[in-house]
Amino acid sequence: MPALAVAEALRERGAEVSFVTAKGRSGTGIAAAEGFPERSIPLRGFRRSPTPRNLAVLGMAFLAVPRSLLALRRARADVIVTGGGYMAGPVAVAGFLTRRPVVAMEADSRLGLANRVIAPFAKRVVLAWPLRKRASGKYLVAGRPVRRSVLTATRTSGRRAFGIPPDATVVVVVGGSQGARTLNTAAADAFGPEPPFHVIHVAGPTQVDDVRAALPERNEARYRLEAYLGNLPEALAAADLVVSRSGGSVFELAAIGRASILVPYPYATADHQTANARWLADAGAAILLPDADCTGERLRSLVGALLADRRRLEAMAEAARAMGKPDAADRIAEAVLEVARP
């Protein structure tokens, strides 16, 4: 989570950081688990199609503003950092009403709706990517912040964590927190049940049983199948090659210098995952594999070719590292503290 990466950097600089989150959402409780005070407010997102449900959501949004005011008062906030999404709006409004400076953080390759509304009134807008007509003044292109656990994990520590020999070849397959059915199916077909290398496959909690059923006799010592990995940074560090969707993880792969095969989610907003994948592919750091072409046969062929050409694999890793911005969280933290100073 980009917000947690910035929170860690701020805490290292002596700042007190707390979170305001939407109650009941999948990310609720993550900040608290990392030791940050967290206040949750009931709120849901609007549906794009007209529906009576949106009237209830509108009412929740209005009530979220005074609830955000109370949360800011209890936290004695000097500055507000928003990370996009529908929770950002009420908290930013509460900040404007109390004359607290707002720093808007955009982690994708386009400004989301909330940030497009907040940007004109924010003191700073921090971007992961250079955006047209938004590259000067209040805008800071810092890259997408990456958590310390990603940056500090090493090939040695990762392989030790998973009981993999130091000289083994490792492929990590991950489709995001909820998994990716196309990627899961292709990976199971391409590498199971007896892979010629070590596979760490994070299938997602709703899809892991389907993958397990497709591989009833897999070699569990070489094909590790997980619903979720709390120590995913160690898995990425252990990898020679990563096969994944191309959300915010592309910045993690760049920061640690890992070659990848990226399969963009075809229904992502404004097709931003394809833009993310192309960013690394154009730099020679990744191969972009369209979702429609992601079959077991195609994936097996691509992975096999890369693992057989170690020079190319190493060149891709170096190209990824050259694109990385491992200091993004630190740069954003400094910008936040600058805004907070009277």
**47 residue type, one letter:** R
**What gap in Å lies between CA 272 and CA 106, rounded to an integer?**
13
Q: Are residues 172 and 244 in the same domain?
A: yes
Query: Is residue 48 helix, strand or coil?
Result: coil
**What are the tens digits of pLDDT across the range 290-306?**
999 999 999 999 999 99
- Residue 267's pLDDT is 87
**What gap in Å lies between CA 262 and CA 29, rounded to an integer?**
29
Q: Are residues 81 and 206 in the same domain?
A: no
Q: Are residues 258 and 313 in the same domain?
A: yes
**What are the tens digits of pLDDT across the range 155-169?**
999 999 999 999 999
**Structure tokens given for 105:** 């953080």
Closest residue by Cα to residue 187 from 297, 266, 99, 281: 297
Q: Are residues 319 and 335 in the same domain?
A: no
pLDDT-derived band at 178, boundaries 50, 70, 90: low
Crossing angle for the helix pair 310-323 and 272-282, to the nearest 10 degrees: 120
Place of tokens 């760049």: 254
Q: Are residues 200 and 85 in the same domain?
A: no
**Structure tokens given for 140:** 């800071």
The whole model's pTM is what? 0.86
Q: Are residues 332 and 309 in the same domain?
A: no
Q: Does residue 330 contact residue 146 with C-beta atoms inside 8 Å?
A: no
In the chain, what is the straight-line distance between the N-terminal and C-terminal CA atoms, in Å?
A: 29
Query: 232 is in which domain, residue-wise?
Result: 149-323
**What are the tens digits of pLDDT across the range 49-75?**
677 776 776 787 888 889 999 999 999
Distances (CA, A) of 20 to 30, 169, 213, 221: 11, 42, 40, 42
**What gap in Å lies between CA 264 and CA 262, rounded to an integer?**
6
Alpha-carbon Rg for the chain, nearest whole angstrom, is: 21
Q: Are residues 173 and 123 in the same domain?
A: no
Q: Are residues 32 and 163 in the same domain?
A: no
Q: Are residues 169 and 239 in the same domain?
A: yes
Crossing angle for the helix pair 53-75 and 88-97, to the nearest 10 degrees: 50
Closest residue by Cα to residue 324 from 238, 263, 236: 236
**What gap in Å lies between CA 53 and CA 23, rounded to an integer?**
17
Q: Are residues 24 and 74 in the same domain?
A: yes
Query: With pLDDT > 90 as the criterion, what percentage of the chain qualifies?
Result: 67
Q: Are residues 110 and 224 in the same domain?
A: no
Q: Are residues 60 and 175 in the same domain?
A: no
Q: Does residue 194 contact residue 215 with C-beta atoms inside 8 Å?
A: no
The CATH number of the domain holding residue 299 is: 3.40.50.2000
Q: Count the neighbouring beta carbons within 10 Å of the beta carbon of residue 206.
A: 11
Tell me the average pLDDT across 135-146. 86
- Residue 191's pLDDT is 95
Is residue 100 over pLDDT 70?
Answer: yes
**What are the tens digits of pLDDT across the range 254-271?**
999 999 999 999 988 778
Distances (CA, A) of 99 to 64, 204, 227: 18, 42, 44
DSSP state of 269: G
Query: For the chain, how many structural domains are there in total?
Result: 2
Cis ω on the peptide bond leading into residue 193 (within 30° of 0)?
yes
